[in-house]
Amino acid sequence: MGKGKGKQRKQIILPPELPPEIAEDEIQVSDEDLQFVDENKDYAGFVSRLDTHSINRQVTRVEGVSEDALEALYEKRRRKALEQKEDERIVVEVAPVDVLPVKSLDGEVYYRTFSQSAEVPEDEGDVDKSMVKMTKAERRAKLKKSKKEAKKLEKESTKAEEVQPTQQESALAEVKEDLTAEEAFETKKRKLAELGMALLADPEANIKSLKEMLQFTKDGDQSIVKLGLLSLLAVFKDIIPGYRIRLPTEKELEMKVSKEVKKMRFYESTLLSAYKGYLQKLLALEKQPIFHHVVVRCVCTLVDAVPHFNFRESLLVAVVRNIGSSDDVVRRLCCLAIKSLFTNEGKHGGEATVEAVRLIAEHVKAHDCQLHPDSVEVLMSLSFDDDLGKPEVQDDNNKMKYKKNKKRKNSEESNQLQGNDRKKSKKEIIAKMKEEVAADYKSVSYTPDVAERKRMQSETLSAVFETYFRILRHTMQSSEASSEANGNLTPSGSGAHPLLAPCLSGLGKFSHLIDLDYIGDLMNYLKRLAARGSNSDSSALKMQNLTVSERLRCCIVAFKVMRSNLDALNVDLQDFFVQLYNLVLEYKPGRDQGEVLAEALKVMLCDDRQHDMQKAAAFVKRLATFSLCFGSAESMAALVTLKQLLQRNVKCRNLLENDAGGGSVSGSIAVKYQPYGSDPSLSGALASVLWELNLLSKHYHPTISTLASGISSMNSAQNQVYINISPQQAFKNLLLEEESFKFNPQGSTQKSNSKSKSRTTALPSTLVRDEPPPIDENEVGKKLSRHFALLRDIKENERLRGELDRTTTSLQLYEEYKKQRKSGIKKSKRSVGI
């Protein structure tokens, strides 16, 4: 096959031979050819349809011209076309902004150019006027067309020349504006720095520069305004004197004084007027959101640095107005400024503290106790003298003696003056002037006497308690209104009483300073707020809109008030024990605060108070049940309290026995235990057994298991570590241990075991054998993930079933609607037919 193919490729196929060349004159058309053409006109029809006129325009022949002349004619036509194209070519310069310049070998710099030629029609370029004969109409059309094209080219060239310089000018204008703005900003900034440095170097000589610096706060640039405010803040902090400026009166201005006094008066008046203008500018810019942060920072800094100076009231009003702001930064700055004002009373002598507390009280009243808790929590920074609430018997006696001595001296002096015919010597005048100077110095000094300090502290304390009692009264009124409106069925969140928690904390801190006349009303309020709201108790209000933590705080405050005024009060606290007994079961770790519960256990059950046997047993049983249900920290606080109750009440240790008939004591109490009873004295807890300790001894946390085992055996040698620890301290310690235990359970087990061995004697073998094995967190995580995945599937299934039911019901309703519509249409047709 390959060879055959090769042979075929070697064969050369020759084209057919051309017919012999015959001159046109010698061609003869026969009759047969004419007959064939006449019979087959379809084959030769295209020849009759040819446009001979256009052919003659494109291809022209000049008769009687030789070939050389015809060739020269064509060259001439080509030369004319090229010249016409060069004439119509337009040179456009490239904008210097768009390209880079070019430097020649001679050193000249120029910009590149490009040429743009006009479009020439092909049919006009290829035909010569001498060779084509055009009619008048064609000439006119061609002339009009050429004029239009020339006008278009002129317009385009003028537009290109106009556009380029305008773009360049706009770009240059923008660059100039940016440069001028930057230069202006730098010059103003430099000027501010120079004025500030000059004022700090020599304030008295350059005090007029303050007015120049104030002008920068009126600038149109926001950055310059902020820089001006901050620069003036730094200057005022440094040059403000340590006293209040008192401008001279008209009589003092009329008096002749020395040059130094005039200079000092001018300096003080200029400083005070500039400071006043600065504060007015701050208060005006405070309303603008752009300057709000800067203004608040300046005001808070001035309150902290110069609380003794003039116009302090305006600064305090601005700070207190923003103390409950929703902005965290603004609120934090204002709270820090108020706290520094309370803690550093040496700067202002206590007067600013009284003003700030009064403003806070008015602010709380104006906003109807609906503020951020930080606005009242700042009052916790106040400090009062311990003897402020004591009666001043000795002071009254001393005042009476002082008044008598003063009257006697005045009578002697009057007699002496009358005897000497009221002649005053120089010594008396000098002594009187010294007394006046001492009085003036005392009025401006920051160390008031004891009587003045007590007066200011009394006013501050009255304003503080006025705020606290207003918050309690508002909480009572709103709770009653909400309970009546909701039918005591739908509890609302604690968001309705944001100031109750800091109010109760403040009452607990200053409980020893409360006046005895108000303690009765206060205890009544606390009892009603801490009420559980059961349907059986008709006398107590049903405060279901308070959280467990808030109710526990009410109990804590009641006990603190009672203990601080133990000599003057005789109050029955049984209702608060009942509330604590019931609130233990309502506690939820994620919702309520464990620190508050631990504090309540410490204050109400552990602080050197002897309880009766039945009440102690009820709390022991309730705390043991509580320890099984919640986290390690809460369980540890409950077990520490339980152990202290068992140590103080020896008879309650019968709950640890498991004899026949339970742990009852010779039938002196109710035989049946009531675990859901509301009164701890009637619960019959002595008839039960602390079986919870057996489960707690197998707790996963080694500290709790060890303590529960020690309580079961009541072996004091094993639990000396927890004898002097309060529930609060136990709660905090186990919180820290629990955090480390989550990351390393085995290591924490070893550490806790080593600590127990080092601090106490060796543990019994039973406790060592019963130690729980370490927990595999991965396995627990897998089980929990499967469990929650199953719960999610169940919820998703319920949701889909609900959607399916709704869809089916809507379809059924639609079918019924269609049937009703059809029946209505039929009835209407029948009525029309009738």
- Report the pLDDT value the prediction gives residue 280, as an integer from 0 to 100: 92
The residue out of 388, 415, 446 marking a domain boundary is: 388
Task: Reduce the secondary structure of 662-717 to three states and give it as a string.
Answer: CCCCCCCCCCCCCCCCCCHHHCCHHHCCCCHHHHHCCCCCHHHHHHHHHHHHCCHH
Q: List Cβ neighbours of 336 (8 Å cut-off, separation of 6 or more).
A: 300, 304
CA distance 552 to 602: 12
Considering the domain architecture, whether residues 233 and 260 belong to the same structural domain is answered as yes
The residue out of 371, 388, 405 marking a domain boundary is: 388
Considering the domain architecture, whether residues 312 and 221 belong to the same structural domain is answered as yes
pLDDT tens-place string over residues 706-744: 888 888 887 444 444 445 688 888 888 877 776 665 545
User: With 70 as the cut, is the pLDDT of residue 162 above it?
Assistant: no
Considering the domain architecture, whether residues 379 and 254 belong to the same structural domain is answered as yes
Q: Which residue has the higher pLDDT, 504 or 97?
A: 504
User: With 70 as the cut, is the pLDDT of residue 110 above it?
Assistant: yes
CA distances from 691 to 336, 637, 645 (A): 52, 19, 17
Q: Which residue has the higher pLDDT, 348 or 358?
A: 358
Considering the domain architecture, whether residues 761 and 804 belong to the same structural domain is answered as no
Q: Which residue has the higher pLDDT, 177 or 508?
A: 508
| Average pLDDT, integer, range 424-446 | 68
Considering the domain architecture, whether residues 758 and 794 belong to the same structural domain is answered as no
Q: Which residue has the higher pLDDT, 770 or 195?
A: 195
Please report where in the chains the tokens 């009541």 appear, as a residue. 714
Considering the domain architecture, whether residues 796 and 748 belong to the same structural domain is answered as no
Specify the CATH number for the domain of residue 378.
1.25.10
Q: Which residue has the higher pLDDT, 748 or 812?
A: 812
Please report where in the chains the tokens 């040496």 appear, as a residue. 346
pLDDT tens-place string over residues 15-55: 667 666 676 667 777 788 778 878 877 766 666 677 776 66
- Report the pLDDT value the prediction gives residue 316, as an integer from 0 to 100: 94
pLDDT band for position 256 (50/70/90)? Answer: confident
Q: Read off the pTM.
A: 0.61
230 is a domain residue: yes
Please count the residues of the chain.
Answer: 834
CA distance 190 to 830: 97
pLDDT band for position 135 (50/70/90)? Answer: low
Tokens representing 537 are 């108790």
Considering the domain architecture, whether residues 315 and 205 belong to the same structural domain is answered as yes
Reduced to 3 states (helix: H, G, I; strand: E, B; else coil), residue 19 is: coil
Q: What share of the chain has pLDDT > 70, as a percent?
A: 66
| Residue 708: closest CA among 767, 647, 629 | 767
- Report the pLDDT value the prediction gives residue 15, as an integer from 0 to 100: 65
- Report the pLDDT value the prediction gives residue 511, as an integer from 0 to 100: 84
pLDDT band for position 503 (50/70/90)? Answer: very high
CA distance 298 to 217: 13
Domain tally for the chain? 3
pLDDT band for position 294 (50/70/90)? Answer: very high
32 is a domain residue: no
| Average pLDDT, integer, range 205-224 | 88
| Average pLDDT, integer, range 386-405 | 50
Query: Burial level of 784, CB count in 10 A (0-12/13-18/19+)?
Result: exposed
- Report the pLDDT value the prediction gives residue 254, as an integer from 0 to 100: 85
pLDDT band for position 173 (50/70/90)? Answer: low
Considering the domain architecture, whether residues 721 and 802 belong to the same structural domain is answered as no
User: With 60 as the cut, is the pLDDT of residue 393 above it?
Assistant: no
Lowest mean pLDDT among 276-285, 299-308, 394-403, 512-521: 394-403
| Residue 737: closest CA among 752, 750, 755, 724 | 752
408 is a domain residue: no
Considering the domain architecture, whether residues 655 and 757 belong to the same structural domain is answered as yes
User: With 70 as the cut, is the pLDDT of residue 91 above it?
Assistant: no
The residue out of 774, 806, 822 marking a domain boundary is: 774
Q: List Cβ neighbours of 500 (8 Å cut-off, separation of 6 or more).
A: 471, 472, 475, 494, 546, 550, 553
pLDDT tens-place string over residues 174-199: 666 666 778 888 888 889 899 989 99
Contact 134, 141 (CB under 8 A): no
Considering the domain architecture, whether residues 289 and 380 belong to the same structural domain is answered as yes
Where are the alpha helices (H) located in 135-208, listed in sequence order? 136-201
Identify which of 164-168, 528-532, 575-579, 648-652 has the greatest average pLDDT.
575-579
* Helix (H), strand (E) counts: the chain: 32, 4
495 is a domain residue: no
| Residue 208: closest CA among 217, 193, 198 | 198
Lowest mean pLDDT among 62-76, 483-497, 561-575, 596-610: 483-497
CA distance 301 to 323: 14
Q: List Cβ neighbours of 734 (8 Å cut-off, separation of 6 or more).
A: 632, 633, 636, 637, 701, 703, 704
DSSP 46-74: HHHT--HHHHHHHS---TT--HHHHHHHH
Which domain covers residue 626, as residue numbers?
614-774
| Average pLDDT, integer, range 803-813 | 89
CA distances from 817 to 146, 805, 812, 822, 830 (A): 78, 18, 9, 9, 20
pLDDT band for position 140 (50/70/90)? Answer: confident
CA distance 243 to 231: 22
Considering the domain architecture, whether residues 696 and 814 belong to the same structural domain is answered as no
Contact 597, 637 (CB under 8 A): yes
- Report the pLDDT value the prediction gives residue 365, as an integer from 0 to 100: 92
Considering the domain architecture, whether residues 767 and 800 belong to the same structural domain is answered as no
6 is a domain residue: no
Number of other residues whose CB lies within 10 A of the CB of residue 558: 28
Contact 217, 298 (CB under 8 A): no
pLDDT tens-place string over residues 589-600: 888 888 889 999
Q: List Cβ neighbours of 618 (8 Å cut-off, separation of 6 or more).
A: 581, 680, 681, 683, 685
